[in-house]
Amino acid sequence: MRPAPAVPARNTKTAVAVSADPVLQPGPIPGVPGVRLAGVRAGIRYPDRLDLVAVELAAGSETCAVFTQNAFCAAPVEIARRHLGAASPRYLLINAGNANAGTGGAGREAALACCRALARQRGVSPEQVLPFSTGVIGEALPVDSIGKALPQLLSRLDAEAWPDAARGILTTDTEAKSAWAELDVNGNSVRIAGFAKGAGMIHPDMATMLAFVFTDAKLSRGQVDALLREQVEHSFNRITVDGDTSTNDACVFCATGAGPTPVESDSVNWNRLREALGQVFRHLAQAIIRDAEGAGKFITVRVSEGGSSRECLQVAYAVAESPLVKTACFASDPNWGRILAAVGRAGVENLDPGGLRILLGSVPVVAHGELHENYSEEAGLAAMAGTDIEIEIRLGRGDCEETVWTSDLSHEYVRINADYRT
């Protein structure tokens, strides 16, 4: 996803424990001071399923967001953008099962009606409520069902309800996706926590994904915006499942300021905060790929020795989005010719095949544009056999490097998307 113009703004509980040397670790998500959450069953599309989530933000929180660049953006995207420019958000309202996209003026009014209903019950302005939706496109949002569920939803707001919030935004996902971090800043704890959804229609600009990340750090609006854009570019903008960009995508980052310590830009603590935040964003992005529709493989495509970041990404996406490469990965088939062909059609100007090298994991496959003299099919098969596959492409043109994460393409992906509306 490209960031929108600046606006003010499988079941897992995965944790990130961050100190001077951040390391991802399993564990439950603790609360983030200044954030309360809740999830309920509103019957939006399926019975007996969490599908409506609210997040309450402390007064004075700084919130920024980026949204899909799809020209047919959904009604909640339009309203959320407008509200971010008008007021400081106090509530996020997220529904699953219905995208409220392709619904025209009626869809915009439906999103606004939900914001007004929540605002009346909490004594805030409608502009302080940001709506988000995910699900089937082209169907009317069931405003009455959401309105009836709001009293129960708001009564359940709790600092520890992260599991319900993470599950309540899912569609074709098979597992909740969450992460958290904690670091020491001048003797005080700073927490970061977030959750996301996404499994298909995943591609930068953005993807069929929603992501919400929160910290209690004291940050200015400009700091929040800068951190969000930096982290999105190297996480959610580096994943693809099928090359399709959705109508509803959003990524929100909020700093409640409820912690005791301001974090100054360009300080050691600022860099540590960036690293911790980066781990949370990358974990959430990679969790989307690991839960991709029908996926059995997590594929890392690393392109190095490029003349520019742009050409590295051209090559990485040509390979990552190739149906032939993805089906070969599904079959654990080291069909290196498909990778070579994808690199060749990526559109890199004056690409010299003689300088090209390809590796599958640590196995050299192609050197100087042809099969490596020491390559064996047995070694190639071994490199493709695991759940995680790494494809490394060295262009021999410079010092730039980029990484993209993708999934394989399976029979199950076709079944899920063929049956999605039934």
Q: Tens of pLDDT along 322-367?
A: 999 999 999 999 999 999 999 999 999 999 999 999 999 999 999 9
Q: Considering the domain boundaries, does residue 33 fall inside one? A: yes
pLDDT for res 422: 61
Integer angstrom CA distances of residue 165 from 58, 92, 196, 210, 255: 17, 11, 10, 12, 18
Q: Considering the domain boundaries, does residue 5 fall inside one? A: no
pLDDT for res 293: 77
Q: Considering the domain boundaries, does residue 19 fall inside one? A: yes
Which secondary-structure segment (H or E) carries 388? strand 388-394
State yes or no: cis peptide before 206, omega within 30 of 0.
yes
Number of Cβ atoms within 10 Å of the Cβ of 2 = 14
On whether the CB atoms of residues 355 and 379 are closer than 8 A, the answer is no
Cα distance between residue 319 and residue 315, in whole Å: 6
**Beta strands, E only, 205-257:** 210-215, 239-240, 250-255
Q: Considering the domain boundaries, does residue 4 fall inside one? A: no
The residue out of 290, 308, 340 marking a domain boundary is: 290
- Same domain assignment for residues 201 and 94: yes
Please give the mean pLDDT across all residues of the chain: 89
Q: Which two tokens stand for residue 202?
A: 């995943």
Judge whether residue 129 has pLDDT over 60.
yes
Q: Considering the domain boundaries, does residue 209 fall inside one? A: yes
Q: What is the pTM of this model?
A: 0.89
Residues 379-391 have a mean pLDDT of 97
- Same domain assignment for residues 165 and 188: yes
On whether the CB atoms of residues 157 and 127 are closer than 8 A, the answer is no
- Same domain assignment for residues 108 and 243: yes
Q: Per residue in 339-352, is it b (16+ CB within 10 Å) or e — as a string?
A: bbbbbeebebeebe
The residue out of 264, 290, 316 marking a domain boundary is: 290
pLDDT for res 200: 63
Q: Per residue in 238-273, is it b (16+ CB within 10 Å) or e — as a string?
A: bbbbbbebbbbbbbbbbbbbbbebebeeeeebbebb
- Tell me the helix, strand and coil percentages in the chain, rounded to 5: 35, 25, 40
Integer angstrom CA distances of residue 257 from 35, 46, 73, 214, 261: 11, 37, 31, 10, 8
- Same domain assignment for residues 196 and 342: no
How does residue 180 score in pLDDT terms, banded at 50, 70 and 90?
very high
Could you tell me what percent of the chain has a pLDDT over 70? Answer: 90
pLDDT for res 262: 81
Which pLDDT tens digit goes with each residue over 237-284?
A: 998 876 656 678 899 999 999 987 788 887 899 999 999 999 999 999
CB neighbour list of residue 269: distance below 8 Å, 6 or more residues apart: 185, 186, 263
On whether the CB atoms of residues 335 and 327 are closer than 8 A, the answer is no
State which residues form the domain around 18.
Answer: 14-290
Q: Which two tokens stand for residue 119?
A: 């605002």
The residue out of 290, 322, 355 marking a domain boundary is: 290
- Same domain assignment for residues 139 and 20: yes
Cα distance between residue 177 and residue 10, in whole Å: 10
What amino acid positions are annotated as catalytic residues?
A: 208
Cα distance between residue 369 and residue 358, in whole Å: 9
Q: Read off the CATH number of the domain in which 234 is found.
A: 3.60.70.12
Q: Which string of DSSP letters, residue by residue, matches 84-125? A: HTTS---EEEEEEEE---S-HHHHHHHHHHHHHHHHHHHTS-
CB neighbour list of residue 234: distance below 8 Å, 6 or more residues apart: 278, 281, 282
The region, left, alpha or beta by phi > 0 then psi within -120 to 50, assigned to residue 311 is alpha
Which pLDDT tens digit goes with each residue over 12-37?
A: 333 333 344 444 545 678 889 999 99
Which pLDDT tens digit goes with each residue over 157-176?
A: 999 999 999 999 998 888 99
Q: Considering the domain boundaries, does residue 390 fall inside one? A: yes
- Same domain assignment for residues 184 and 274: yes
The region, left, alpha or beta by phi > 0 then psi within -120 to 50, assigned to residue 123 is left
pLDDT for res 355: 93
Q: Read off the CATH number of the domain in which 401 is found.
A: 3.10.20.340
Closest C-alpha to 99, from 223, 221, 209, 239? 209
